[in-house]
Amino acid sequence: MPVKNGYVTSYFGNRILNGKKQFHGGIDFGTKETDKTIFAPLSGIVRVKGLSYSFGNRIWVELPDKTYYVLAHMAMLFDTYKENDVITRGQKVGIMGNTGHSFGVHLHLEFRIDPSNPRTCIDSPYFKQF
Ligand SMILES: [Zn+2]
């Protein structure tokens, strides 16, 4: 769990948000803890760190198979690491928040394949299931 006593508030897939049909590309977590520290769910290299319009304060982390995950909508990002640093599973990366296109304090976790490189798909363990 990327947050203490976290629970899923919205799963991946189609959903209704504010009365509109929407595809949700990630999974959302909430917590009732006052400590809303976010922990890296997987080790990797931080490729992007900072504020975006939609994801708010977020980091993009590159995994060894060149897939990426994003941790989004954080209230703040810790300055204990910077872009191109390695972060390890369990490392504290920020505080859960409500920045960017968000309606309430939560963590959005999403995975992406590098669209510029088909090998990221072919080399992925998920591809080999077919
Ligand atoms: Zn989400």
Q: How far is the CA of 122 from the centre of ligand 1 (A)?
A: 27
Band (120; pLDDT cuts 50, 70, 90): low
pLDDT (0 to 100) of residue 93: 98
Q: Is residue 57 part of a domain?
A: yes
pLDDT (0 to 100) of residue 121: 66
In this structure, the strands spanning 13-17 and 56-62 are unpaired
Q: Which residues surround ligand 1, an ion (CB under 5 A)?
A: 26, 28, 108
Q: Is residue 2 part of a domain?
A: no
Exposed, middle or buried by CB within 10 Å (0-12, 13-18, 19+), for 79? exposed
Q: How far is the CA of 90 from the centre of ligand 1 (A)?
A: 21
Residue-range definition of the domain harbouring residue 86: 7-125
Domain of 13, CATH number, reads 2.70.70.10
Band (78; pLDDT cuts 50, 70, 90): very high
Q: How far is the CA of 102 from the centre of ligand 1 (A)?
A: 8
pLDDT in tens, 83-105: 999 999 999 999 999 999 999 99
Q: What is the DSSP letter of 3?
A: B
pLDDT in tens, 30-57: 999 999 999 999 999 999 999 999 999 9
Q: How far is the CA of 27 from the centre of ligand 1 (A)?
A: 5
pLDDT cut 70: percent of the chain above it: 90
Q: How far is the CA of 49 from the centre of ligand 1 (A)?
A: 18
Domains held by the chain: number: 1
Band (65; pLDDT cuts 50, 70, 90): confident
Give the list of residues 6+ apart from residue 36 with CB closer than 8 angstroms, or none.
Answer: 3, 75, 95, 96, 97, 105
pLDDT (0 to 100) of residue 66: 83
pLDDT (0 to 100) of residue 123: 64
Q: How far is the CA of 106 from the centre of ligand 1 (A)?
A: 8
